[in-house]
Structure 1
Amino acid sequence: MTPPASLLLLVTAIGAVRLVELAVARRNARWAFAQGGTEYGQRHYPPMVVLHICLLVGILAEVSLADRAFTPLIGGPCLAVLVLAQAGRAWCMRALGPQWNTRVVVVPTAPVVTTGPYRWMRHPNYLIVVIEGIALPLVHTAWLTALLFTLANTPWLVVRIRTENKVLWPAPGGTAPAAR
Structure 2
Amino acid sequence: MYWYASLIALIGAERLAELVVARRNARWSLARGGVVHGRGHYPWMVALHTGLLAGCLLEAGLAGRPFVPALGWPMLALVVAAQGLRWWCVAALGRQWNTEVIVVPGLSPVRRGPYRLRRLRHPNYVAVAVEGAALPLVHGAWVTALTFTVLNAALMVVRIRCEETALTTLVPAPSPGRAPA
Q: State the TM-score, normalized to the length of structure 1.
A: 0.92
Q: 2:55 aligns with which of 58, 69, 78?
A: 58
**Which runs of 5 or more residues in structure 1 are unaligned?**
170-175
Aligned amino acid, residue 58 of structure 2 = A
Deviation at 1:66, TM superposition (A): 1.1
Q: How many residues align?
A: 170
1:19-47 per-position Cα deviation (integer Å, ceiling 9, x unaligned): 00001000000000011100000000001
1: CA distance between counterparts of 2:159 and 2:151? 13
Q: 2:26 aligns with which of 25, 29, 43?
A: 29
Aligned amino acid, residue 66 of structure 2 = A
Counterpart of 2:138 in structure 1 is 139
Aligned amino acid, residue 70 of structure 1 = F
Q: What CA RMSD, in Å, does the superposition of the two structures yield over aligned residues? A: 1.0
Q: 2:105 aligns with which of 105, 108, 131?
A: 108
Alpha-carbon contact 2:37-2:162 (below 8 Å) kept: yes
Counterpart of 2:82 in structure 1 is 85
Aligned residues with identical type, % of pairs: 54
2: CA distance between counterparts of 1:106 and 1:10? 33
2: CA distance between counterparts of 1:97 and 1:109? 16
Aligned amino acid, residue 62 of structure 2 = L
Mapped pair 1:72 → 2:108: no
2: CA distance between counterparts of 1:152 and 1:167? 23
Deviation at 1:65, TM superposition (A): 1.4
Runs of 4+ in 1 over 6 A off after TM superposition: none
Aligned amino acid, residue 64 of structure 1 = G
Alpha-carbon contact 2:26-2:102 (below 8 Å) kept: yes
Counterpart of 1:149 in structure 2 is 148
1:97-118 per-position Cα deviation (integer Å, ceiling 9, x unaligned): 0000000000012110011101
Secondary structure at 1:43's aligned position in 2?
A: coil
Secondary structure at 1:42's aligned position in 2?
A: coil
